[in-house]
Amino acid sequence: MADSVISEIPPTMCLEKPSIDFSYVGIDAILEQMRRKAMKQGFELNIMVVGQSGLGKSTLMNTLFKSKVSRKSFMGTAEEKIPKTIEIKSVSHDIEEKGVRMKLTVIDTPGFGDQINNENCWQPIMKFINDQYEQYLQEEINIDRKKRIPDSRVHCCIYFIPPTGHCLRPLDVEFMRRLSKVVNIVPVIAKADTLTLEERDFFKKKIREELRANGIDVYPQKEFDEDAEDRMINEKIREMIPFAVVGSDQEYQVNGRRLLGRKTKWGTIEVENIAHCEFAYLRDLLIRTHMQNIKDITSSIHYEMYRVCRLNENNTQANGLADHHPASHEI
């Protein structure tokens, strides 16, 4: 009787042991662990914007992050409009998207390039960048240092080139030549809608030639390509630099869709339309494809060079004191 009952049980109801893959170790789980940790900690990104007044620096930053992350300059009297010296102002915001938190700091440089004599106007900016490296270094060499050092280092500098359509100014060349050694520079042609497509292409080609002639290595730097795949992707970006951009935080209705753009009597310039300008390429580079690489190069190349120089200086000074005071280290 019992045998007949057992034989009537359908085969689908028989319990089968799940198959176990004995070759699986689980190394790939580290990616999920890293993702969870990164989501808890959040991210930091510090972007500096440099260029003379009226080139749309604040508007472009607001367009990039689709929020008011950069304050527009105060428009006072003629004397108040142009600062006597370069003022460096930082504004930080906490941005969250799909559960990912990021502390974004936008560093503005009002007064740059606005004077009659702009000689050495890059110096306060260079000093600010080095001051952030020094601050990080001092935190790092503390005996009782923080578990996570606050990162105020400038990860990227967006340099705004006026849309003259001719060539770079001596100020542009000098700034990028000096600053490209200490920070990732991404040059952009501001207010590119003031140029025709032919003027824009000629200007971009001319700028690339001048950058090469002056030995200016802007981001992404060729020497830091990690492999053939990186080189292929970055080569396409290098062929597009400088990005011809248009910024706008105004929305307009175009063919039934709400779009960011600039309205003219000839039509609407769509900010995110690659047929109109190269804003989308700049956004992808800074945020969607190369953000981590920009931060890595800041940390492993630019900051590392500063750190080595400073520690060598300290060692030289210490050796100099030891030579003058041979008994100073005796116990």
| pLDDT of the residue at 210 | 97
When pLDDT is cut at 50, 70 and 90, the band that residue 299 belongs to is very high
Check if the beta carbon of residue 50 is closer than 8 Å to that of residue 73.
no
Closest of 48, 162, 159 to residue 108, by C-alpha: 48
**The one-letter amino acid at 273:** N
Write out the two tokens for 318: 């210490």
| pLDDT of the residue at 327 | 41
For residue 263, what are the contacts with CB-CB under 8 A and spacing of at least 6?
250, 252, 269
Give tens-digit pLDDT for 202-260.
999 999 999 999 999 999 999 999 899 999 999 999 999 999 999 988 888 888 888 88
| pLDDT of the residue at 75 | 47
Check if the beta carbon of residue 248 is closer than 8 Å to that of residue 63.
yes
Closest of 241, 239, 316 to residue 286, by C-alpha: 241
Residue with the larger pLDDT of the pair 15 and 156 = 156
| pLDDT of the residue at 328 | 34
Answer yes or no: is pLDDT of 29 > 70.
yes
Answer yes or no: is pLDDT of 84 > 80.
no
Residue with the larger pLDDT of the pair 4 and 326 = 4
Sequence length of the chain is: 331
Question: Which letter does DSSP use for residue 93 in this model?
Answer: E
120: left (phi over 0), alpha (psi -120 to 50) or beta: left
Q: Three-class SS of residue 53? A: coil
Average pLDDT over residues 155-160: 98
Name the least confident of 23-27, 136-140, 154-158: 23-27
Name the least confident of 19-23, 131-135, 300-304: 19-23
pLDDT averaged over every residue in the chain:
86
Residue with the larger pLDDT of the pair 226 and 154 = 154
Tell me the C-alpha distance between 136 and 38, whole Å. Answer: 20
For residue 285, what are the contacts with CB-CB under 8 A and spacing of at least 6?
186, 237, 243
Name the least confident of 48-57, 143-152, 294-303, 314-323: 314-323
| pLDDT of the residue at 254 | 83
For 188, 204, 211, the CA distances from 57, given in Å and listed in that order, are 10, 19, 22
For the chain, the first-to-last Cα distance in angstroms comes to: 97
Answer yes or no: is pLDDT of 180 > 60.
yes
Average pLDDT over residues 171-178: 96
Question: Which letter does DSSP use for residue 71 in this model?
Answer: P
Tell me the C-alpha distance between 45 and 58, whole Å. Answer: 16
Tell me the C-alpha distance between 7 and 290, whole Å. Answer: 64
When pLDDT is cut at 50, 70 and 90, the band that residue 330 belongs to is very low
Residue with the larger pLDDT of the pair 171 and 5 = 171
The pTM (predicted TM-score) of the whole model is: 0.84
